[in-house]
Structure 1
Amino acid sequence: KSKKNKSSQSSHHGDSSSSSSSSSSSSGSSSAAASSANDESKPKGGDNGGQHFAMEPQDQTAVVGSRVTLPCRVMEKVGALQWTKDDFGLGQHRNLSGFERYSMVGSDEEGDFSLDIYPLMLDDDAKYQCQVGPGPQGEQGIRSRFAKLTVLVPPEAPKITQGDYLVTTEDREIELECVSQGGKPAAEITWIDGLGNVLTKGIEYVKEPLADSRRITARSILKLAPKKEHHNTTFTCQAQNTADRTYRSAKLLLEVKYAPKVIVSVVGGALAGGKIPEGAEVILSCQADANPHELSYRWFINDELMTGDFTTKMIIHNVSRQYHDAIVKCEVVNAVGKSEQSKKLDISFGPVFRQRPVSVEADLGATVSMRCDVAGNPEPEIEWISENSDQVVGVAAELKLKVSSETAGRYFCKAVVNGFPEIGAEATLYVKRAPIITSHKVQFGGVGGRVKIDCLAFSIPKAEHILWSFEGKIINMSSADPDIYIFEEHHLPEGVRAALIIRDSKATHFGKYNCTVMNSYGGDSLVITLLREPGNIPV
């Protein structure tokens, strides 16, 4: 057949519109025909209503294996008609011998010489023209417009070069290559991941022509770094072109090895809301999702490794407030790597003083603060209560006061945590001033015994000097006879308690004593009359 086609093609090469004296001969000179066939500005018909085209072929696109008909209808035909393929004459007889898949269909009466091709093959992708030679009376030959026949070829089913199964590791870049051969035009390749997402990034598309220079092999190279979510999912490569819009696909199952994904939670001992009451038994869970599944566990509290055979659970017995805000960490390791997650413990406990309130000494008009610093979980509710008014005067840890006679006095701090006993403490605001002696002006003692004269003074700031005199004469503490006098001095938070003790009193020791107390703001004196006790007076 090949030889027959070559022979036929050789005998039919030419242009039927060239000058020829015999319409029955299918051979002839092609020099003038080739020149005119390449001329796009072809004559459409003869003068004076001579032979002319009623229908000319148009560009067509068809799929290999289908039937194609290129129309050609000539009115008032008188010359010989033939079709050319890429300027090669196919012959003037309707059966087009030598071209088994080609024939001219229609009837001479209707002037229909349409070219029918079936089944269409890739080799039929060419430029066609319908030509009519000159008539016997010198009528002008005519040529149709060129019609481009484009033959489409569906691509072969795609294949993934890596096969249908691949094992990889999370975050390590891999390449998947999908190949679809022999399409015309080149196959369009689409990648779809196992989650149903069409992938558009990290894709390289390459086209390689086959040996026939018509069909094309398409390659799509997908670069990606798989995640845990891609484990046991299928990547799909779909290929199609305009010859066949039905997708054909190849699939690859991906196994992703990944380091553990860890979740730490409190599964025992916690109340609603997540708080853990002090004294409870706490159970913590460490759940790990990993591939491979061979895992080892380590637990830490505040970065200190816990001893014990703890794996997916750890227990803390009789948890105390020292564990409040402690960071519990679970570390899990497999062949790929290690991961960890932490949980902060929320221990509920009653109020406890971090800093008790401290009494304050200040000048009139000054602004002072007292602090009641209390720990507790939940956060303690604090109240400051003034002893003078029995009213709440503050609800924060710090109480600020402007010093006056009205604000001076004792204050109580009360701290409450729901579900626990309350605690309290007190502090006093003192006004700095000269001492005030509050002792009795008349005091009693017996002759022949030990007699004590008290001098009690309120003194803020602290008393610096205490002076005693008897009947206008100073009793010098440093030079007084210790066998006669004993000096006592006890400093109190609010002042001083001083005393002059007479070891062995005599009648001459009774009379008027003066007690003077001094601080940096001044002094106060009191005359104390020492009298004999009524039962000690002689009759």
Structure 2
Amino acid sequence: TQAQQAFRTEPRNLTVHEGATAVLKCDVLRASGTVQWVKDGLLLGPQRSLPGFPRYSMIGSPKRGQYHLQIEKAQLEDDASYECQASRSESSQAIISSTAWVNVLIPPSKPYFEVDAKTHWVAGKRYAVTCVALDAKPEAEITFYKDGVELTGVESFTVSGSKDKLVNTHARVTVTALSYDNGRQLACHASSPASPRPAEARMTMRVFYPPQPPVIIGLEGEEVKAGSLLLLQCVSYGGNPLATLHWTKNGEVVSISWKEDAEAQKSISTLRLMISPADNQAELSCESANLVSWAALSVSRKITVLFEPAEVTLLGTLTAVEGQDLHLTCSASSSNPPVQIRWWLGHKELNASAIAMEEGSHGGMTTMSNMTHRVSREEDGLKLTCEAFGKGTHFSKSQSDTLTVYSSDNMAIYRCSARNEAKSTISAQIRLKVYFTAIGLKITAKQTEVRRGQTLTLECSSRTSNPKASISWSLGTHRLEGVERPANSAPYGGVSVSSTLALNVTSWHHNQRVICQAYSPVLGEGANTFFQLDVLYPPEFSPEQPTHIQVLEDDVATIPLLVSANPEEVSCIWLHHRELVRAGDPRYHWAHDRSLEILNVTRKSAGVYIVKCTNEEGETQTTIKLNVQYAPSVRPQKDPVLVNLGETADLICVADANPITSGMFTWAFLGETEVETEENTQEDESGLLTIHHVTRAHAGLYQCTADNGIAPPASAGVQLVVQFQPELQKGAQWTKVASRGDGTSTARVNVSGRRHSSCGLHLGKKGFTHGLCKPQHYSVSPPDKAALIRLALAACRSASRPYPSSTAIIGAVALSAMAVDFTYNSVTLEWIPGFNGGLQQRFRIRYRWDHSPGFLYADVIPPGAASFTVTGLQPATTYNFSVNALNTVGESAYADEGAVLTITTAEKPKAKESPTDVDSVEPRIRRLPTYWTVILAVVLGAALMFNMWFFAVRWKRRRGRTGTPGGSTSDGEKIEEKGSSLSAISNSNKYESGEKINAAAQRTLLVDSGSETDSRVYERHAAEASVYYYPTRDFTLPLGPHPQEMRTLDFTQPPVDSHGHVYEEVGDEHVYQDVLPSLLSLPPPLFNHTIPNQRSGWRPSTRSQQVTGRVRDPTDVGQPQKGSDLPFELRGELV
């Protein structure tokens, strides 16, 4: 049969971006009904493709119970609540998942500025800027950036958008305009969870500000040469708008034209001035201003004009007699700076005798030189020169040299000539032919730069060789084919050869050497040269670059980076989850080889790392996946798990681990009993324990342990709660309760039961119920002294769903006894106390052996003890034991409705010493110590005297009022009969003894009293009351004789009214009639049965009962009386 269907995975709230695909997961275990989705209360249907919703579909494997709802291209209308439902089937109830909300994130539209772009700002003033982002969900967060710096003090508010659930955001910020803001960007970013990048609006700030002071360019020094053209530029930088410029010379405007360079943000005015000597010491000024200038800014320069003298004059006569002195004067007009004068005669310089300088025109200086020279005839016709020179005169100097060249021996003709006087000249000649390898071998490239993927053309040529050389190309071990060109004549009688090579270069060719060899087969040798390739290429990652790195959590992860590039200056950035890995983070460390080290790596460090490397040639990126393995952590998917009795329970725990291994989940039941884990399965990171036909034994804590091989394993507890109808404990201790009826005490009704959750508990009294709030122990106080709880009814009802109730009617309870140990002369008994009547109770043991003349009795000391050892017994003898309870009101029937416990003592062990009178010695051995005997005798004597006095006074008072001393018997019977169907329980009555009671005895009591066999109530109370303190006050030991004790060997007549006897066992008078014949013929006893702490003697009554005609027990005085005959503290009705 198919079990109850249940959800393995319920849909959860989901947030999805607009346009993305949303998947709501729904896994149904043992699906037997129809599974479908509900959107805002609307059933979507059970089909895999949902009609009316083209973007909706149900995906997953139905065989695996997967009914996931997929929403493609999510839109605002998909923002709703969803439920997964499985309808009722023959084998299962209908189930409905928890409500899941799909939150569709809508990014805002492109924001815009609410500002007049045509209005220019003025530097130093403040302006308000507003940015608006429309139709976002959730509302957009707007931030302002001025030239990349975030602005503070943003105030924003929202209004409704164009559609429901959409919001418009308005943000405002105050900006202080600065001069350097002109032309910069003011950005508005509208951030939203719906978009990974914020929407952005930008505006260019137009700020008016004054220009900087102008500068003059072109006048490196203050000195200029007359006659030259002076080109000066006045430049004014900055300013918006750009400045206007004009020139003045000595206060007069000489130029008002300028031009603007918007890109360079400057204004330029050029002054063309032809320099004349009159411009010496002139002041040139340039002024600039714009619309926001407070005053015009200017710059001024004075110029110094260098000019030569306009004329040089030679004064004096040049005609002189040989040996005569000539007196000549040479003067130069005004010049700046003053000139120097030299005298030349031919190519010979003459020395001047005196030089004088004076101020001249235009701020210059005039120069005059006097010279005296004595002439000779050799100087006749020579040229005499007066030279004025200054800084403006330039001299040049040159130097030459002669080159001597020696010619080659190749193909040279050597001639040898011989002659003498006898014969004519004869000669002989020879031409030398010289072989030599290539000279001047070199490689040239057609391109100055070559990049990856381009074709490089190389030419290898030799200047000359003889004979012709053969050119070949090689690259490493590879031969390359070149194109050889025709040979040409070359110096030294050789030839010039050349070859070209076209090479398609890659990054591998970088720094490789291309070798050119010119080989001469005649000489058997050649010349070699190489060309080292310089290939420019962007960063490239090595084929050996790892793409997957695996590391354990808390270890050091090293991610190597194998990259090459040309130029080698490479900058790399690392991105993890689209966020920049910053060098300031102490977890990250970059080695010299660019590898990344992550210290104390965590699972958050796992994922894909994107490495972007850049140089001047471009950018390249690669991805490296870091796999961080870590020990599992586990959590229950649902805790606690509630399941009805008999249904199927699914316990699911979810692990967070890496890796997820097969069989990593194990389950264990942490209860006291052993429970088979049954069906243990795993699906991905979830472990599933399925328990079919759940019983109460399955309830408890289950431990799910996940172990993926990385220590330590993780565990989590899942509490399984089995829901069942409530049950009340109906053992003996729950069926009776009593209290004083004088209104001075409280009746406590103890109700105990089993429940699966919080329940309602009610006590009923005469048709009315009392609601109790705590399902443990409760106290109900009577409203008056005669208040009685007639009926106690406890019902437990579940708070979440109705379950059948359980009711217990308080009735009579018995007392059960059992033997725990025996020897050849003693028996140890234990029993479970029953109802105490609301008063302190004590116990009495009655026993006899076969053919005994009557019963022997032993009062249990201390009072309330639930175990006792009877001594002084005969070996190998069968005894019948029974126990009853007494309090100040009366005594109970013997346990188990008169049933007796039959025990046979053990055989007497054989003595190893000399034979002695064992029968006489054994009692003495079992006696109590002497001091205990004395104390017990004193206490018993005092108690006996007190009881005799008390009962005598009570009996005398009653006879004085009613005159019918025996009339209380029938009333006592009524009260006892009524007490058999009512119950109230005292707080001190726990139905347990101060001694340890074994579990078998307790379970026996439960079975005998009609309680559930699996009840553990007694075991719990035994544990809670492991230490019991016996009360020491208000203890009296009634020593009055029992009716059985009144019979002696001279007994002549049994009691007349046996039905009025206090003991239920002697209700049948025929029992005593059968015993009488044997009593008269009994032989004397073989041994003394009187032992310490036991009552073994019988006493006849001191007076006869006149009303009933039988011997009356003095304990009848303690029986309940009717009406006002009872003392006040005993009035009321037994419950």
Smaller-chain TM-score range?
Answer: 0.3 to 0.5
TM-score normalised to the size of structure 1? Answer: 0.47
From the two aligned structures, give the one with the greater helix fraction. 2
Which structure is richer in relative contact order (CA contacts within 8 A, separation 6 or more)?
1
From the two aligned structures, give the one with the greater strand fraction. 1
User: Which has the larger Rg?
Assistant: 2
